[in-house]
Chains A and B, each alone.
Chain A
Amino acid sequence: MTTHAATAAPTEHVHRDDVGSRLGMWLFLFTELILFGGMFIVYAVYRYSYPLEFQLAARELDTLLGTINTIILLTSSLTAAMSITAMQEGKKDLTLVFLGATIVLAGLFLVNKYFEWGHKFDVGLYPQSPDMLAKPVGEVLYFGLYYVMTGLHGLHVIIGMGLIGWVMRQVAVGSVNQGSFVRLESAALYWHLVDIIWIFLFPLFYLLH
């Protein structure tokens, strides 16, 4: 430390620890894992208790729409990952293009979700609806979990869009740059977590019928 201090120019020292910052972001992601994990446990217990009702209820979901949304989210994860490569190469404009594409794809995901939920509401499959209450308890639980889990996931998509937009601004003004882009990495990590949650939500709600 002393030798380092002696050789380095005596300019102001800004504390910075990128590895520590990323580790902190991962720790935050673990809290998200436990948040969703708790819901996955509830899902597991009810699926175990009502296997047939869960299978029947899953047939109400549109597999094609779910598959399209899976591909959209995977693509958005790809563009988020590529934005870091672009930043490492010092290509600011390309970084912004990749991040912009990520936000557009996230928006598309939400539009699909809007139509999907809208259709469910149109056919009377929403919480506490007369049609819903007439269903067996296992199916009511399935749809309750469907709305809560995809809803919370959708909320994370919205937050992720905000985060990426916030980082885009910093890339644009240059406060996030080739020499310092840990905030870009953290936003991307968050986005990939949102993708991973969907990787499990998709088969559990759309495919097990």
Chain B
Amino acid sequence: MSTPLHELPDGHEVHAHKVTYGQFFLIYLGLIALTGLTVALAGIDLGRWILVSALGIASVKTILVLNIFMHLKFEDSLFRWFVGVALLILGIFFALTFFDYAFH
């Protein structure tokens, strides 16, 4: 909601929230660490849980990229609603496909 926008003299708005290099680098280190973790976990025999761990870590990495690298956290809440609806639609596609598949 509180997108920090400032008005230019000519009335145009510019995206003003600035993420510092240090903040970006910290997120980057987190992404690298999560990559290391998912590779390490793949080396252990986790059985069925390997799929859960791989997709769970990928999802956490995606949330970091979306929120910080793609500035979603600093955008108007409308953007997050849009992303939520897009993911919901994809989720419905998955659910309907498997529902159909399960009963064939």
Contacts and interface: CB of A to CB of B under 8 A. Distances in A.
Interface of A: 4, 8, 16-19, 22-23, 26-27, 30, 33-34, 37-38, 41, 44-45, 48, 63, 67, 70-71, 74-75, 77-78, 80-82, 84-85, 88-89, 179-180, 182, 185, 188-189, 192, 195-196, 199-200, 202-204, 206-209
B39 A192 contact: no
A74 B15 contact: no
Interface of B: 3, 5, 8, 10-16, 18-21, 24-25, 28, 31-32, 35, 38-39, 42, 50-51, 54-55, 57-58, 61-62, 65-66, 68-71, 75-76, 78-79, 82-83, 86-87, 89-90, 93-94, 97-98, 101
Looking at chain A's contact residues, the main secondary structure is helix
Given A18-B14, A204-B54, A75 B28 contact: yes
Given A192-B69, A208-B51, A19 B13 contact: yes
A179 B87 CA distance: 33
B84 to A, nearest CB: 11
A63 B90 contact: no
B26 to A, nearest CB: 10
Given A81-B24, A203-B58, 7 more contacts: A22-B75, A22-B79, A27-B82, A33-B87, A34-B93, A80-B69, A207-B50
